[in-house]
Amino acid sequence: QQQVKQSPQSLIVQKGGISIINCAYENTAFDYFPWYQQFPGKGPALLIAIRPDVSEKKEGRFTISFNKSAKQFSLHIMDSQPGDSATYFCAAAGRSGGGYQKVTFGTGTKLQVIP
């Protein structure tokens, strides 16, 4: 059972364009929503994150939009650059039934930015 659904699976964007990746979650107990960026041969690295009491967060060219009622959130990459080419994972974090911190990931989106 995939608790965090991510789309699209892959994305090709022209340099300077906007990249948009969408995620949806099911468990309302999640209380933190990070995005991770992964380059080939490396581990994922935290990119940007948002709490559910905020509808938008922007850091440089990266923006998270959050819709709590729809249980959806998305990553927007403005002015996409070839260096942004990577795999992006959305995630949802919260406490497990036992009270311990757990993070559930989406299936990933492979972004390619072409010149």
Partner 1 sequence: DAGITQSPRHKVTETGTPVTLRCHQTENHRYMYWYRQDPGHGLRLIHYSYGVKDTDKGEVSDGYSVSRSKTEDFLLTLESATSSQTSVYFCAILQTGAVSGELFFGEGSRLTVL
Locate 16 and state its tokens.
């300077």
33 binds partner 1 (CB under 8 A): yes
Considering only the stretches 38-46, 54-62, 66-74, 76-84, report the one whose residues sit in contact with partner 1 under the rule CB under 8 A.
Answer: 38-46
Residue 65 in contact with residue 21, Cβ under 8 Å? Answer: no
Assess 104 for contact with partner 1 (CB under 8 A): yes
For partner 1, the binding residue among 19, 34, 66, 75 (CB under 8 A) is: 34
Give 18 or 45: the residue with its C-beta nearer to partner 1.
45
3-state helix, strand, coil in the chain (%, to 5): 5, 55, 40
- Which structure tokens are listed for 31? 């209380």
- Would you say 15 or 95 has its CB closer to partner 1? 95
3-state class (DSSP) for residue 32: strand
User: Residue 49 CB, nearest distance to partner 1 (Å)?
Assistant: 6
Q: What is d(CA 37, CA 30) in angstroms, rounded to the nearest whole number?
A: 20
The residue ranges that bind partner 1 (CB under 8 A) are: 1, 6, 9, 31-34, 41-46, 49, 89, 91-96, 98, 100-108
